[in-house]
Amino acid sequence: MFSKLAVVASVLITLAAAMPNGTPPPPVTPPTVPMCCKSVEDSTSGAVSAVAAAVGLDLTGISVPIGLSCSPITVIGDNCGSTSVTCDAPEAEWGGLIAINCLPITL
C-alpha cells in the first residue's frame, strides 16, 4: 500500500512541476523548418496537452497543428516514413517531442 502511495505522490509531484507556470504560450510564426513527425494533432488534443505539459509549454489560446516526435529533415528526398511537414523552428529544450504550426509539405 505504501509503495502505491509513493508512486502516486511521485507522479503528482512530477506533473505539478511540469505544469505551465503562467508563462505566455510560444509565439506562432510562419513555418520554415522541414520536419518528419510521427503524428500531427490539433493543439487542443489530449496527446498534445500531455506532451506540452511534459516540456513546460502552455498552449492555451493556440489553435494550430502540432507535430509530435519530430526530427529535422536534412537531406533532400529524405524518406520520412511518417508525416513530412514544415513547422516553426522548435526550441532545443523541447527535445524533438513537439513542434508548433506544422503544415504538410506539398511537392
Q: Where are the domains of the chain?
A: 2-104
Instruction: Quote the CA–CA distance of 18 and 15 in Å, as a whole number.
Output: 5
Residue 12: its pLDDT value, please?
A: 34
- Name the phi and psi angles at 49, rounded to 5: -60, -40
Local confidence pLDDT in tens for the 107 residues of the chain:
434 433 333 333 444 444 445 566 677 877 888 888 999 999 989 999 999 988 888 888 888 999 999 888 877 665 677 788 999 878 887 888 999 999 988 76
Q: Is the dihedral of CA 21, 27, 32, 38 positive or negative?
A: positive
